[in-house]
Structure 1
Amino acid sequence: MEKYEMKVMTDIKPREKLLERGESALTDSELLSIILQTGVKGKNVYSLAKDLDGFIKAHDGSISYTGLRKFTGMGDAKTLKILACIEYSKRYKAIQSKRIESASDIYKLVHNITDKRQEYFILITLNGSAALIKRRVLFIGTMNKTLVHPREIFAYALRDRAASVIFVHNHPSGSLEPSEDDINMTRKLKIVGEIMDIAVLDHVIVTKNDYYSFSVNNML
């Protein structure tokens, strides 16, 4: 039985195609051609990318530096670039598939903002299995009703097709006590979430040493 073959469209170069249609519109070999950038003697970048795509898939993605270097046309620069991309994608996939089960999971996920001197507001979107879809810094500054607008927040949740969301922001002062603005903002966001059928699971305030969960403290 013949298999379908995704052919590289040479009339629209991969870079232009990505800009016009987005990365999801590119075939695997087209994505590789962007990473490789150039071909080798006797083989243009599209042909090299197609052959390399088949080589990588034949090894189920488990390839080493030595294995790649044996592939025709793969010098040090191209080999290291491909290996770095594969490793990065593995790490990214591991993060994306992580289930969020408690506020402590959230604290680990956003620990990089705990020592910031400004307030950072982060939106975390989750799928129906409570697995992480995306972590976004949406606002930097004083968290108040003027800065944090539900329309912008839930636009991203809709874009991610999220089943639920969690909000996080830090308190540079070190205090875990939610302010009046924090409480009012959370109530407003929860109401909007209910209207849009996107569950607001928690709002977590973080500091360098600890965290406060609205959910755990029955504030949702």
Structure 2
Amino acid sequence: MTAIQTIAIGSLNAAIVHPREVYKAAILSNSASILFCHNHPSGDVTASSEDLEISQRIKKAGELIGIELLDSVIVSSSHYYSMKEHELI
């Protein structure tokens, strides 16, 4: 089963995301794994320190409850950045 869930909608330059909201949707969907994705409207898909921090927190939380984080992806209108491809998670 595949489920797509919007967890948070941010402001111009920030969004508040907590692992509990991410995994609530995953648990309710009986997920074995998740893909965490967010956009950078600026078009620059470079991962910020905040992007790296939340991805690591989500990964660690998933390890505790047995739901694997497959990747954390940043997208823009024409590019993407995979933290897994860059060995950051």
Tell me, yes or no, whether TM beats 0.5. yes
Identical residues among aligned pairs (%): 36
Check if 1:170 corresponds to 2:39: yes
Task: Tell me which of 156, 163, 166 is aligned to 2:25.
Answer: 156
Unaligned runs of 5+ in 2: none
Number of aligned positions between the proteins = 86
- Whichever of the two has the greater Rg, that structure is 1
1:210 CA displacement = 0.9
Please state which structure has a larger fraction of its residues in strand: 2
d(CA) in 1 for partners of 2:4 and 2:85? 21
Aligned partner of residue 7 in structure 2, secondary structure: strand
**Which residue pairs with 1:203 in the alignment?**
72
Aligned partner of residue 177 in structure 1, secondary structure: coil
Unaligned runs of 5+ in 1: 1-131
Q: TM-score, normalised by structure 2?
A: 0.92
Contact conserved, 2:5 with 2:25, CA < 8 A, in 1? no
Aligned alpha-carbon RMSD (Å): 0.9
1:136 CA displacement = 1.2
1:3-22 to structure 2, matched below 5 A, reads none
1:186 CA displacement = 0.4
Please state which structure has a larger fraction of its residues in helix: 1
- Measured against aligned partners, the alpha-carbon deviations of 1:140-196 in whole angstroms (never above 9, x if no partner) come to 1123xxx10111111111101100001000001110110110000000100000000
Q: TM-score, normalised by structure 1?
A: 0.38
Give structure 1 regions of 4+ aligned residues with deviation exceeding 4 angstroms: none
Check if 1:219 corresponds to 2:73: no
Higher relative contact order (CA 8 A, sep 6+): 2
1:65-104 to structure 2, matched below 5 A, reads none
Contact conserved, 2:74 with 2:82, CA < 8 A, in 1? yes
d(CA) in 2 for partners of 1:195 and 1:185? 15
